[in-house]
Chains A and B, each alone.
Chain A
Amino acid sequence: MTLLHETNEPKTILHRYGMAVTASVFTVAMTAALWPVLGDAPFILLVGGVVVSAWRGGLLAGMLCAALSILAVDYFLFEPRYEIFTTPTNLLQFIIFGLVAGLISWIEESRARSDRANREYREELEIILNGVTEGVNAQDASGKVVFANAAANAMTDEGLSAAFRSTEKPGAKLLDSGNVTLAFTAMPHHRVFSTGKPAELTFGLKPTESGQERWMKLRSTPVFDKQGKVRLAVNIFEDITDKRRIEKLRAETEERLRKVLDNLAAFVGVMTPDGVLIEANRLALESANLMLEDVIGKPFDQTYWWSYDPDVQAQLRDAIKRVAAGETVRYDVRVRLGEGRFITIDFILAPVLDGRGRVEYLIPSGIDVTARQQLTDQLAVQQRRLESILNSIPGVVYEGTGSRDASEQRMAFISQYAETLFGYPVEDWYTDNNFWQKVVHPDDWVPVTQRATETYLTGDSTPVPFRCVTKDGRILYAESYNGTITGLNGQPVGTCGIVLDVTERRRQEGEIKRLTTLVSYERQRLATIIANVPGIVYEAIGTPERGLQRLDYISSYAETLLGYPVDDWRGGDLWEHAIQPEDTEATLAQVRALFDGQAAPIQLRCQTADGRTVYLEAHSSLIRDERGSAVGATGVMMDITERRHSEDAMAHYAEELRRSNEELEQFAYVASHDLQEPLRMVTSYLQLIEQRYVETIDADGREFIGYAVDGATRMKTLINDLLAYSRIQRARDETEQLNVGETVEQALYNLQLTIEDSGGEVTVDEPLPELEANRIQLVQLFQNLIGNALKFRAPDRPPHVHIGAQREGRFWRFSVRDNGIGIESEYLERIFVIFQRLHARNEYPGTGIGLAICKKIVDKHGGEIHAESTPGEGTTFSFTLPVKRAPRRGK
């Protein structure tokens, strides 16, 4: 260590006072020597001694020096010599000397004290500076090093000292960080002096000879004097050779690590514990087409990869919170790489701890597992599909693994149908290896397990029948089909199979057995019936289009009836045997009609073996194949010969009757018609005679002509009534829905004059019903009855006719009641007979046909008519008409 100033060592007492004595002696000797010269100032020289003693030895030494020298001068030089005089002058001199010594020593003391403090400060500074690892020195403007601390001294060798020199020294080389040789003046202290500003430089020292290259970092700071000029340059420098090497090493390591990171097939990043991303590797960035600055410094959950779904972001934030607390979190998650482009990654978020176990960083990383995820998804889909297929099978599909012993097997799978079939939840099979024992009927358990073991060992897959008991206690018949599952080594590792519910099948089998018995019984019964039917039961195959029918079956009655042996018919042609050639076409036509869907029975005429003719009537049904096409016919043929004969006879009679009726009608019409001609001639010409020969005919002649004309006129009325009567029969059967009230009104209108002439009244029950009838006839019916009632009125009272109607079941009953003369009960039936008259013509004129016409009209409408009467009081005619007309019968 180089000190700037020499320090005053503290003086011993001896040293201090010795020096005071010495100074006293020296000054007294000098005064003695110079005594003659001194004159009036004998003590002047003493002052110097006192000053030196006080300066060097302090106040006491000064005082001592003053006292000694004053006493010595007084004793040795002043007269009287060798005697001590103590004068007031001496005392004053002593006081003055003392004051001088005090002043001097005080000044010296203060200086010394300040000197000491300064020294202590510098010493402390040196100690501090020496404790600093950096080198510290100071140079003045000439480049001279005026101070250097311990580190500086230790570091300063030939090479370094060259750097601080103010002139270049050949052989020493300074390098900048790029290994380029530096100009000597580039050193910072030069710049500090030239610019007055601090300067800094990192530089290398190229060794002159063999030796290590050293790197220094130097910082130069100016120290200014009071004039503001740079007095010193303080250099602080350190040897950064090692640090630089480590830094380089670290940079290389970092570079290597970055390359590794960037080339990892994983997404890796670094973030702060509060979730801000500070690093992301290339794959993570490039996959999403991002730049580092897009993501760095952002909260991780706000970055592009995650910001597509708030839920995913929330999950991530939660993970960050947990990892920041020291956990490691791992889950599969989808991240966004582009618009609509996602991948699934196996995401791991792990904490990095510092030396004290605090979380320093979070490392998110992920591997693209999209393919794996897809595979997993696919597998899951396939698994689900397989399970739903198995679950939809109406049988219990199972897979047992582990032991060969069925009772020790573990259920690897059992289909949902187990629950449907047995009523237990499928979980029971999974939780209880022995659950089958609960389901299988106790009596069947041992054989079933034995068979299962056999299947396991031999692969025998014959179905095993057994009974099961369901949860609600029903017994099911089941059948299991089992197989063995072999492992990769070919050894059995389990069994699988399906348990089917065959209860219904067993029931059906029983039903079939029962039906078979029933059918055979029915068949027997049918055979018995057929054998006893008085008709030919047949079955024929074939259609008219495909040629004539082939008889498949014919009952034995055919032989009884027709005489041909049954065996001759079967398989042969029905018609060839018995149908007459002239009937073939007509018969075939009927068969075609049958196949066309007409239900009418077929009429056949057959020739028996002994030549008789027999009429048959075949009632048949078509035999259809499964598509509904007719392929044949079956039925029974009855012998209708007898019936046919009676029918023929009846048809004959009916025809005769019809002809007879027709002739009668024709007769009635023609006769009544043609009868009118001569009548008209008689009348007309009698009248012509009467008219033209009025003068030549006398009163008698005119009277006779009168009778003749009257007869002819009545004849005409008779004929007309007869015509009307016959016309009702011939009238076309036309009916309509009509209002009876209207027909009554029409009749009253037709009778208007008669009613007025009679002075009577006709009342009607309103409303009269509606029904279906022939309008003209109904008008005539009412007209005849009302007219009748008016005609047979009592002479003593005006006629009153009342028309009423009431419902009687399917009929309406109409009544025409009068207050006329009435009819004796014995005639009540006869009045409806044609031409029946009860009164003389001059009393009540008429032909006796009116009521016959009424009866005929009512009859024709399907009703009936009768009369009730109290003679002298009145008659009530009542007739019925059906509410709804019965369907018309054949003529």
Chain B
Amino acid sequence: MEMIQILLVEDSPGDIRLTKEALKDSKVRNQLHIVQDGVEAMAFLRRTGDYVGVPRPDIILLDLNLPRKDGRAVLEEIKADDDLRRIPVVILTTSDDEHDILRSYDLHANCYITKPIDLKQFVTIVKTIENFWFQIVKLPPT
């Protein structure tokens, strides 16, 4: 079975760690790539600069509030790029603001998830993402 490539765009080290923890016991073989701002995310996706030769991710977990280039701009760029727009983008953010939700979907985010404050719930959510996106959903062929 192919290894699932996950790109996590997140600037909070706590959340990065929690995500890693949650994915550690995953049933699916996966490789987690982490970038900490929007500029790096785009560089990774376009394999420029330090990211020449990185694999193309099968899914992107994207925070909205990011340094340099925020998540909304990243989402817009991905979905405007003929090459990248098929990669599913899961918005994973602390904001449950109505505006943010509407705007994300307007920009063709594939789903929007608010990070829960409770650890158990967070783990459950990450596992659910994994379960849903890696096992249930048929991803576009790369």
Contact = CB atoms under 8 A, between A and B. Distances in A.
Nearest to A688: B119
B12 A691 contact: no
Contacts of B65: 673-674
Interface string A553-572: 00000000000000000000
Contact of B122 (A673, A684, A691, A730): A684
B2 interface: no
Given A688-B21, A688-B119, A727 B98 contact: yes
Given A673-B95, A677-B94, A687 B118 contact: yes
Contacts of B119: 683-685, 687-688, 691
B18 interface: yes
Interface string A656-700: 000000000000010001101101110111011001000000000
A423 B109 CA distance: 95
B65 to A, nearest CB: 7
Interface in B78-117: 94-99, 115, 117
A197 interface: no
B118 A683 contact: yes
Nearest to B11: A677
A691 B115 CA distance: 19
B68 interface: no
Contacts of B120: 687
B97 A680 contact: no
A723 interface: yes
Given A676-B117, A716-B117, A684 B14 contact: yes
Contacts of B122: 684
Given A673-B65, A687-B118, A713-B117, A681 B14 contact: yes
B91 to A, nearest CB: 14
Given A673-B94, A723-B97, A685 B14 contact: yes
Contacts of A687: 118-120
Interface residues of B, number: 18
A348 interface: no
Contacts of A688: 18, 21, 119
A676 B63 CA distance: 14
A691 B65 CA distance: 29
Nearest to A683: B117
Contacts of B97: 669, 673, 723, 727
B18 A676 contact: no
Contacts, number: 47
A680 B98 contact: no
A680 B96 CA distance: 14
A691 B21 CA distance: 13
A676 B65 CA distance: 12
A712 interface: yes
B12 A681 contact: yes
Contacts of B99: 730
Contacts of B115: 680
A420 B50 CA distance: 111
User: Most chain-A CB neighbours within 10 Å: which of B65, B96, B99, B118?
Assistant: B118
A544 B18 CA distance: 72
Nearest to A712: B117
B12 A677 contact: yes
Interface in A702-727: 712-713, 716, 720, 723, 727
Contacts of B12: 677, 681
Nearest to A678: B14
A379 to B, nearest CB: 95
A713 B118 CA distance: 8
B95 A680 contact: no
A380 B119 CA distance: 120
B112 to A, nearest CB: 15
Interface in B1-27: 12, 14-15, 18, 21
B14 A676 contact: no
A340 B82 CA distance: 95
Contacts of B96: 720
A681 B12 CA distance: 9
A800 to B, nearest CB: 34
A691 B18 CA distance: 13
Contacts of B94: 673, 676-677, 680
A688 B18 CA distance: 9
Contacts of B18: 684, 688
Contacts of A669: 97
Contacts of B118: 683-684, 687, 713
A712 B119 CA distance: 12
Given A673-B94, A685-B14, A727-B97, A680 B117 contact: yes
Interface string A100-132: 000000000000000000000000000000000
Contacts of A676: 94, 117
Interface in A723-762: 723, 727, 730-731
A678 to B, nearest CB: 9
Nearest to A692: B21
Nearest to B95: A673
Interface string A851-882: 00000000000000000000000000000000
Contacts of A723: 97
Contacts of A716: 117
Nearest to A679: B117
Nearest to B115: A680
Contacts of A727: 97-98
19 contacts: A673-B94, A673-B97, A674-B65, A680-B14, A680-B15, A680-B94, A680-B115, A681-B12, A683-B118, A684-B18, A684-B119, A684-B122, A685-B14, A685-B119, A687-B120, A688-B21, A691-B119, A727-B97, A730-B99
Closest 4 CB pairs of A and B: A687-B119, A681-B14, A684-B119, A676-B94
Interface of B: 12, 14-15, 18, 21, 65, 94-99, 115, 117-120, 122
Given A680-B15, A687-B120, A688-B119, 16 more contacts: A673-B95, A673-B97, A674-B65, A676-B94, A680-B117, A681-B14, A681-B15, A683-B117, A683-B118, A684-B119, A687-B118, A688-B18, A688-B21, A716-B117, A720-B96, A731-B98
